[in-house]
Amino acid sequence: MDAKDKKSIALFLESAELERREVTRITMEYPDLSVDEAYEIQTEIVNLKQDKGHKIVGPKMGLTSKAKMQQMGVEEPIYGYVFDYMVVPNGGTIVIDELIHPKVEAEIAFVMDKDLEGPNVTAEQVLAATRFVLPALEIIDSRYENFKFTLPDVIADNTSSSRVVFGKRLVKPTELELDLIGATMLFNGEIKALGASAAVLGHPAHSIAMLANMLARKGGKLHAGEAILSGAITEAVMFATGDYVTARFDGLGEVSFVAKSSK
Ligand code: OOG
Ligand code: MG
C-alpha cells in the first residue's frame, strides 16, 4: 500500500464520518493491512482534520479492558484522537442524526501537568505528572457497517472517536484510589452498565503509561494540558433519541447528556 492509498482511505473514512454513512470495512479490500499501516491512515485523518482547523483535545486509549476486547473480538489496546468539535458540554445535547450508530461508555480522563515521553513510562510517573482526573462519557461511532471491524480497521477509523462529554469535578489523582472507582451508567434513571476502574488494564494510570509508550514508538508524547481518555470502564451501550444518559463515579461526581434529533 502506498502513500496515495493511505490518503484515499483516510478521505473515505473521514467522509463517512461527516456524511453519517456506514461503510464496508477497509480490510475487506485490503486484507493484509497491518497495524502500522492502519496508524498511518489514522495520521492522515488527523492531518485532514488539522488542515480544517480542528484542534486535538487529546489522545485516547481504547479496548483497554478484557470485556471490551472480547466484545469487539480484538486482542490489544489501541489509541486515537479526540478533536475540539467532538466535545459536548456537560448536560448538553448529542444530536443523534449527526451520528451513524453511536454507543456510549463511561471513562476517566487525565489532564497532565507536564509532558510525558516514553519509552518505559510507568503508572507511578503518570500519577506524578497528572494535574487532575475527571469523569467522562465517550460516544463512539464506528464508521463500519454493524460496528464490526478488525484491529487495523478500527485503528484506521480513528478508534471510532465521535463525541465526548467531560464532567466538572477535577480531582488530584492522589486523593482517590484510582483503581477502585465504581461507575454506573444510567439511561433515564435506569442502570444500563456498571464497572470499576480496575477494568482499565488493572489501573487507569497504567493505560496512560502504555499510551505514552505507544506514542513514543512514533516520536510522540503526552502533552501538558491535553485531556486524555484512559479507556472504557463500562461496556459501550447504544442509545436513542430521547435518552438522558448519566454516568456516576465514586468520588468524581456525574456527567450527563441528552440525545435529541435535529428534526
Ligand atoms: C473502539 C473504541 C474503543 C474504548 O474506550 O474502549 C474505546 C470501538 O470499540 O469502537 O473507545
Ligand atoms: Mg473509549
Cell numbers linked to 72: 469487539
The size of the chain, in residues, is 263
Task: State in Å: Cα 244 to ligand 2 middle.
Answer: 19
CA dihedral 159, 204, 207, 162 (to 10 degrees): 10
Examine the pLDDT at 4 and tell me if it is beyond 80: yes
Q: What percent helix, strand, coil does the chain show, rounded to 5? A: 35, 30, 35
Summarised one tens digit per residue, pLDDT across range 96-153 is 999 999 999 999 999 999 999 999 999 999 999 999 999 999 999 999 999 999 999 9
Q: Whose CA is nearest to atom 1 of ligand 1?
A: 159
Q: Looking at this protein, which amino acid is placed at residue 156?
A: A
State residue 54's pLDDT score: 98
State residue 68's pLDDT score: 76
User: Counting atoms of ligand 1 from 1, which one is nearest the CA of 68?
Assistant: 6
Q: Which ligand is located closest to the Cα atom of residue 136?
A: 2
Summarised one tens digit per residue, pLDDT across range 170-200 is 999 999 999 999 999 999 999 999 999 999 9
Task: State in Å: Cα 165 to ligand 2 middle.
Answer: 12
Distance between CA atoms of residues 144 and 132, nearest Å: 34
Q: Whose CA is nearest to atom 10 of ligand 1?
A: 160
Summarised one tens digit per residue, pLDDT across range 59-107 is 999 999 887 788 777 777 999 999 999 999 999 999 999 999 999 999 9
Task: State in Å: Cα 105 to ligand 2 middle.
Answer: 6
State residue 48's pLDDT score: 98
State residue 37's pLDDT score: 97
Which one is predicted more confidently, 1 or 147? 147
Summarised one tens digit per residue, pLDDT across range 206-224 is 999 999 999 999 999 999 9
Distance between CA atoms of residues 71 and 160, nearest Å: 15
State residue 215's pLDDT score: 97
Summarised one tens digit per residue, pLDDT across range 16-57 is 999 999 999 999 999 999 999 999 999 999 999 999 999 999
66 to each of 6, 62, 197, 198, 210, how far by Cα in Å?
A: 30, 11, 13, 11, 16
State residue 88's pLDDT score: 98
Mutate which of 60, 100, 101, 140 to test ligand 1's pocket (most atoms within 8 Å of Cβ)? 140
Cβ neighbours, 10 Å, residue 92: 14
State residue 66's pLDDT score: 80
State residue 71's pLDDT score: 76
Summarised one tens digit per residue, pLDDT across range 151-162 is 999 999 999 999
Q: What percent of the chain shows pLDDT beyond 70?
A: 100
pTM of the model: 0.97
pLDDT band at 1 (very low <50, low <70, confident <90, very high): confident
Mutate which of 13, 138, 145 to test ligand 1's pocket (most atoms within 8 Å of Cβ)? 138
Give residue ranges with CB within 6 A of ligand 1: 62-64, 68, 72, 105, 138, 140, 142, 154, 159-160, 231-232
- Residues in the 5 Å CB sphere of ion ligand 2: 138, 232
Reference 176, options 200, 204, 201; nearest CA is 204
Cβ neighbours, 10 Å, residue 166: 22
Distance between CA atoms of residues 112 and 129, nearest Å: 6
Cβ neighbours, 10 Å, residue 247: 29
State residue 72's pLDDT score: 74
